[in-house]
Structure 1
Amino acid sequence: MNIKQNNFFKKSLLSLAVAGAMSTAFIASANAENSAKDIEILTVTATRTQLNIDDTLTSQVVITRADIELANPISLLDLLSTVPSIDIATNGGRGQNSSIFMRGTNSDHTLVLIDGVRVSSATSGGTSLNTISPEMIERIEIVQGPRAALWGSDAIGGVIQIFTRQLSAGELFAGASYGSDNFTKFNAGAGISHGDGQTTITISKEESDGYDVQEGDETDDDGYDFTSVAIRGQQKVSEDFSLEWMLSSDSGDNEYDGYYNGSDIKNHAWLLRANYASNINGVNNNTVFSVGQNRDSTDSLSDGQSQGVFETRRNQYSIVNSSQLSADLQINLGVDYYQDDVSKSTTVYDKEERDTTGVFAHALYTENDWTFEATVRHDNVEDVNSENTYNVGVGQKIDQDTRIVLNYGTGFKVPTYNDLFYPGFGTPTLNSELSETAELFLETKIYDVNTSVSLYRSKIDDLIGRRDGAAANFEKVEINGIEISANYLALGGTHDVNISYTDAEDQSSTTSTGELGYEQLIRRAKEKFNYKFVTTISEVDVYAEYQFVGSRTDDVYGIGKVDLSSYQLINLGLNYDVSNNFSVSSRVTNLLDKEYQTASSYNSQERAFYVGITYKN
């Protein structure tokens, strides 16, 4: 960070500190509104069973439908970029490839689920998030820290679970938006009742001429065109038995520069889930059986001609039983099985199918002000290896507003098909990447300011990199980080502040003289700062967002490490209810028209404006 940027950052923090000090006098008058906000938030991702977020021993962020409508995001990444310790890297803007780095871990160390279905690619290990429309999302649960003992492979940095939209029976909406770069979007949804059940159907159609996403001589605009459909429903069959179903489908095409200058993308996920409640010898049980599939398909194009298809199909099955043995003790037992299939890809892999079976046991015990959690899991991955993982946690509620939690957990990441079998690169003898993480966090209220502080340390061994042109286990990483978040009501609105510092070092790197040297992992900033302010002025909901992302490095083939400068963004959103049925919304992204890059040589969007109208019955 240069001196000018450092001073700006310090001034921004100072201004916020002064504003926070000035607001103390206003907080007392906001206590009534604050109490109204103290409602129970139920989550399922942290324990795989429904639980109050205040009772889980994990660092969590929940983004609700109300949060989404206030921010008016253009993409899912607009929402994730404001979460502490999450770095976003995109090869251009909306519609292009993107990566998420949670708590300094690699982009494939975060497990992504849609309504419980794994949606990462078995070939690349990545997850296509830029095709998911925010209009299809009801809620996002983000669990930070390892959850491999519950979910298996990939959950080293954390878990992101996206829940598709749920509308009440008879509820419907329809909207249209227009914006910069000839952006247009049409979306609609409806809730349909059927006896003791309900189904929600939503659809979104979005396209844009885009802009030139990459530096170089090719200066044409790189556009995209995506269509998203989601169906989510449930049916109560009897007092104890119910069914749920989900279908999520994203398809479209995008353009970019180079010999491969376009892609056709087709992704879908579906799920059928059965829930059965029973009482055996006085013990209440809830048993959930799920069957589903994820498919991701990318057809790389050159001037409209197919150059090769990468396609993964993953069939998934699971059964989880939750038993409430007493008011204080809950036991969860589960089995997961999934099969990866890459036989539809153009690339010929030496092995086209792989089975993975995992079994786990999870216990949560509460006594007075203490909560204890323990999870153990065994995964058997065909033709790779078997892994045992565990999580242990203890939390104490010191008073009504304060608790302290200590966690320790292990995780692993199975090598992808590309790592193992891609011609000229894959190494079939690779081991899984392994991690150990310790975390201490405190949640409290200081002068009615909800505050949390998290300290964590992770070690990851056997990371997969390239050695002599082939995949190999050799990299070692140590990550140390701190997150500080605060939420308070003052000056007529709600303030959300989070600061994170992430030191993610590659301890296997060497200097030009061949000596061991420690380097920050690429595309990950040490410093991040986010501030959000929401208020209502003359019946107009106002959303303001400031982001600071510190300097980073990238690795360019044939050149080596290059520096990426720090950057600051201001985004604004407005919402106004014209009537009981019609509302108008707008968003301005990159208000100050900053030039910045999250990946070397790839441009980010200039200042952009969007406006939309929505009808709700």
Structure 2
Amino acid sequence: MRACAFLSLAVLSASSSFAQDGPRQLALAASVPQLSEVVVTATRTEQPLSDVLADVTLIDREQIERSGAITVSDLLARQPGLELSRSGGPGTATGLFLRGAETRFTAVYIDGVRVDSQSTGGAPWEAMALGQVERIEIVRGPAAAVYGSDAVAGVIQIFTRQGEGPFTPYVGIGAGNRRTGTLEAGFSGKHDVVDYSLGMQRDVSRGYDSRPGANPDLDGYRQTAASGRVGVQFSDAHRLDLTGTWTNMDAQYDGFVPGLDDHGLNRLATLGATWSAQWARQYATRLSVSESNQRYETLPSPYLSKTRLRNILFSNQWREGAHTLTAALERREDHLVNDPIDRGRHQDALALGYGYVAGVHTLQLNLRHDRDSEFGGQTTGGAAYGYSFAPGWRATVAAGTAFRVPTLYQRFSEYGQAGLQPEKGRNIELGVHWAQGASRFGATVYRNRVTNLINFGAPGPCAGLFGCYENAGNARLRGVTLSGAHRVGGVNLSASLDLQQPKNADTGTLLARRAQRLLKLAADTRVATWNVGAEWQAASHRWDNAANTRRLGGYGLVNLYASTTIARQWDLLARIDNLGGKTYQLAAGYPALPRTFFVGLRWTGR
């Protein structure tokens, strides 16, 4: 890992010594967006990327297609500050840690629709399909002053495809080892004032033995996904957007009873409607109504959990010169059915924001008050300031508070306690960023302290014989993230290095399944008609349990990919993941995916 760190810093430092190269950006592991791009997740309003003070990563469609990833979580694990935990192959229980924080501390949205589980807590990453995704925005750092409960470590928003231009159909087919196959089809376009997009995808794999010795069978998956979007531009000032997604995942896994053919059935659906209005040059509003439903069932083991989330958001924005004022009213409703639980709750919130961009100064202030039907009032705030001290350079400082209310399962299941209190976070971070053309460098130092941490403790306070949820911990999440990209000759380079200390503040032990060092390198170039590239992901050792007695070894993975246009409307993609066949585990007893290769062919009716 020392050699990895040195190589990463060498790549990052090249951004200043080779700044005279012409700008050119290709999709790389550490996302390198152009400054002209617009971000909506950081403040829930459209902002030029150059005005955003948060630590942000953008992933576009080109990166997604070239990644060869099967799930959203696989793709995100290749980004700075993120790491993956999974009990088997795609479709099995998945955790995604942002800056070392638990999965439940990242707020997740699909086309503006909130996604969460009131059973396990956090987004059901194993149920999210990647095929219909157009763009992903990652915002690191607490954002509860904008989004309310859940955004303790950050926010991830996923956007599906939007229609533009003439009617364009597409069809894709792909195959890989372990009888892996994919088939996709769809169309998009725009006619007069209506734009539209519709797509479907089917993925299957025979899989591999994800828990050797427990049940000697192959654990594969079958996934079907669809998404649709319709937008109507009634006039220059008024627009209506309707969105919907649906994913059904059937993943085999090895449970605790030998001989059973265990299946995890995970279904996720979202619906959203948004009316955007520009009433005057300075004043705009947005009204959104949305609902998401997640259903998780295991067979033949009898378990069924259903989460329904509903949101109503009315936001207002006033722009006047260098000043931007925002005000939003939001209603959130959560409901869980998990026998014998059949309960719901709601939160009503008022959120205020102020932004200032002028000359070398950028300022963002946010304040939000949530009134929970069970926990009463929760007030959160955030403040960030940026100073451009030299051409291309900017220093930033930010601080914010956050919270997450316990899930309904944590409170009312046989393992729960109704008296659990919300978990709370307090974060401060410093950053320095440089950009010139397509070259980038960034360094962020952060410290996030989480109190009232909910852990699964000893039996006694609840009816469960195996243990009970309790507010019995405090976490201290500290670290530094370095990232950068540059073009040297004909080769595009990118790198990110995370040095982090996600620890239990009471015991000093590392939090389970989180590495202290993460390194991600990537390079790509063009050879004749081919775009070819390589990625290297490395992680130091982790501990599988809170006591730090079960060690998970570190690992390094090499991935290769190549793509070309073989005819006017035909594109070919080939990819090999885990080239060296590295054997490693993200959860004890569950080997991660071995060497995987995939070849795909896609036709687009341009």
Q: Per the shorter chain, which TM-score range? A: over 0.9
Whether 1:402 aligns to 2:393 is yes
Output the TM-score relative to the length of structure 1: 0.91
**Counterparts of 1:393 and 1:75, CA distance in 2:** 33
**Counterparts of 1:34 and 1:603, CA distance in 2:** 35
**Counterparts of 1:18 and 1:502, CA distance in 2:** 20
Q: Counterpart of 2:55?
A: 59
Whether 1:416 aligns to 2:407 is yes
Structure with the larger RCO, 1 or 2 (CA within 8 Å, 6+ apart)? 2
**Counterparts of 2:217 and 2:279, CA distance in 1:** 62
- Would the aligned equivalents of 2:12 and 2:441 in 1 still touch at CA under 8 Å? no
Q: Counterpart of 1:135?
A: 131
- CA 1:457–1:25 in structure 2 vs 1: closer, same or farther (change >3 Å)? closer
- CA 1:520–1:364 in structure 2 vs 1: closer, same or farther (change >3 Å)? same
What RMSD in Å do the two structures reach over aligned CA positions?
Answer: 2.2
Q: Following TM superposition, by how much is the alpha carbon of 1:542 offset from its aligned partner in structure 2, in angstroms?
A: 1.0
Q: Counterpart of 2:295?
A: 297
Q: Counterpart of 1:503?
A: 501
- CA 1:16–1:268 in structure 2 vs 1: closer, same or farther (change >3 Å)? closer
Q: Counterpart of 2:268?
A: 267
Q: Following TM superposition, by how much is the alpha carbon of 1:27 offset from its aligned partner in structure 2, in angstroms?
A: 5.7
Bigger shift: 162-171 or 595-604?
Answer: 162-171
Q: Counterpart of 1:327?
A: 321
SS at match of 1:419: helix
Letter matched to residue 104 of structure 2: D
**Counterparts of 1:448 and 1:353, CA distance in 2:** 48
2:566 paired residue among 578, 581, 596? 578
Q: Counterpart of 2:488?
A: 490
- Would the aligned equivalents of 1:578 and 1:584 in 2 still touch at CA under 8 Å? yes
Whether 1:547 aligns to 2:542 is no
Bigger shift: 260-269 or 494-503?
Answer: 260-269
2:234 paired residue among 229, 233, 237? 237
Letter matched to residue 148 of structure 2: G
- Would the aligned equivalents of 1:70 and 1:543 in 2 still touch at CA under 8 Å? no
Q: Following TM superposition, by how much is the alpha carbon of 1:611 offset from its aligned partner in structure 2, in angstroms?
A: 0.4
Q: Following TM superposition, by how much is the alpha carbon of 1:57 offset from its aligned partner in structure 2, in angstroms?
A: 1.1
Output the TM-score relative to the length of structure 2: 0.93
Residues 491-545 of structure 1: CA distance to partner in whole angstroms, max 9, x if unpaired?
A: 312111110111011022xxxxxxxx31010111110000011211111011210
- CA 1:50–1:19 in structure 2 vs 1: closer, same or farther (change >3 Å)? closer
Q: Counterpart of 1:514?
A: none
Q: Counterpart of 1:179?
A: 176
- CA 1:447–1:370 in structure 2 vs 1: closer, same or farther (change >3 Å)? closer
Number of residue pairs aligned between Structure 1 and Structure 2? 587
2:349 paired residue among 358, 361, 364? 358
- CA 1:278–1:222 in structure 2 vs 1: closer, same or farther (change >3 Å)? same
**Counterparts of 2:600 and 2:222, CA distance in 1:** 18
Give 5+ residue unaligned stretches, structure 2.
27-31, 460-467
- Would the aligned equivalents of 2:15 and 2:440 in 1 still touch at CA under 8 Å? no
- CA 1:482–1:48 in structure 2 vs 1: closer, same or farther (change >3 Å)? same
Q: Following TM superposition, by how much is the alpha carbon of 1:222 offset from its aligned partner in structure 2, in angstroms?
A: 0.7
- CA 1:290–1:229 in structure 2 vs 1: closer, same or farther (change >3 Å)? same
Letter matched to residue 481 of structure 1: G
Bigger shift: 51-60 or 189-198?
Answer: 189-198
Whether 1:467 aligns to 2:465 is no
Q: Counterpart of 1:246?
A: 243
Give 5+ residue unaligned stretches, structure 1.
1-8, 509-516
- CA 1:332–1:64 in structure 2 vs 1: closer, same or farther (change >3 Å)? same
**Counterparts of 1:498 and 1:391, CA distance in 2:** 26
- Would the aligned equivalents of 1:241 and 1:276 in 2 still touch at CA under 8 Å? yes
Q: Following TM superposition, by how much is the alpha carbon of 1:129 offset from its aligned partner in structure 2, in angstroms?
A: 2.0
Letter matched to residue 556 of structure 2: Q
Q: Following TM superposition, by how much is the alpha carbon of 1:385 offset from its aligned partner in structure 2, in angstroms?
A: 3.3
Q: Counterpart of 1:511?
A: none
Residues 431-488 of structure 1: CA distance to partner in whole angstroms, max 9, x if unpaired?
A: 1000100010000259985211100011110001133322111201111100111110
1:213 paired residue among 210, 231, 236? 210
Q: Counterpart of 1:562?
A: 550
- Would the aligned equivalents of 2:104 and 2:121 in 1 still touch at CA under 8 Å? yes
Q: Counterpart of 1:450?
A: 440
Q: Following TM superposition, by how much is the alpha carbon of 1:242 offset from its aligned partner in structure 2, in angstroms?
A: 0.9
Q: Counterpart of 1:188?
A: 185
1:348 paired residue among 340, 344, 356? 340
**Counterparts of 1:522 and 1:381, CA distance in 2:** 30
SS at match of 1:46: coil
Letter matched to residue 540 of structure 2: G
Whether 1:42 aligns to 2:34 is no
